[in-house]
């Protein structure tokens, strides 16, 4: 189980455009990693759109947002275009990264991400863990918590 102040598990995953991303790409900045079950479902759309609407506020805090699900890159490309998402979605079809973060739900052949989020500090350590998320309110909570963490509270 992951704990605060431990190094965030590394990831090497493809985005919607088949570009490779890894944790070290986000070094020296704040990073929100949010895991979500499935593209184009009601709760996931609500969460993604709230993060989209707050994109400038995250940028003002020098924070990047990255979404991860077990959907493939093509699904992410469609979801990103349909919802005009300005942040990166990463494909974890095998669920390895999701499992490393304790966010994978597996029932026989069915696997998907639980709705969990993490704030990673500029040194790559876990600063905040969210195991229970309300899709429509989560973006604002993330912004408040990043602001508090940056103030050292």
Q: Pairing state of beta strands 30-35 and 63-69?
A: parallel
* Closest among 22, 47, 51, 50 to 36, alpha carbons compared: 47
44 catalytically annotated:
yes
* CA–CA separation, 76 and 68 (whole Å): 9
Structure tokens at 103: 């966010």
Place of tokens 């408040």: 144
Strand partners, 128: 119
* CA–CA separation, 25 and 85 (whole Å): 20
Structure tokens at 66: 């990255």
* 125 C-beta neighbours (distance < 10 Å), count: 13
Catalytic-role residue among 32, 44, 48, 68: 44
Catalytic residue set: 44
């Amino acid at each position: 189980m992951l704990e605060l102040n431990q190094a965030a598990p590394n990831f090497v995953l493809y985005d919607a455009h088949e570009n490779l991303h890894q944790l070290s790409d986000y070094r020296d900045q704040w990073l929100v990693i949010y895991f979500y079950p499935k593209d184009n479902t009601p709760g996931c759309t609500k969460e993604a759109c709230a993060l989209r609407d707050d994109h400038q506020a995250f940028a003002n805090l020098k924070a990047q947002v990255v979404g991860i699900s077990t959907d493939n890159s093509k699904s992410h490309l469609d979801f990103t275009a349909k919802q005009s998402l300005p942040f990166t979605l990463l494909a974890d079809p095998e669920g390895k990264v999701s499992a490393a973060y304790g966010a994978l739900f597996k029932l026989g052949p069915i696997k998907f991400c639980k709705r969990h989020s993490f704030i990673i500090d500029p040194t790559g350590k876990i600063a905040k863990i969210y195991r229970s998320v309300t899709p429509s309110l989560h973006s604002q909570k993330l912004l408040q918590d990043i602001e508090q963490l940056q103030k050292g509270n």
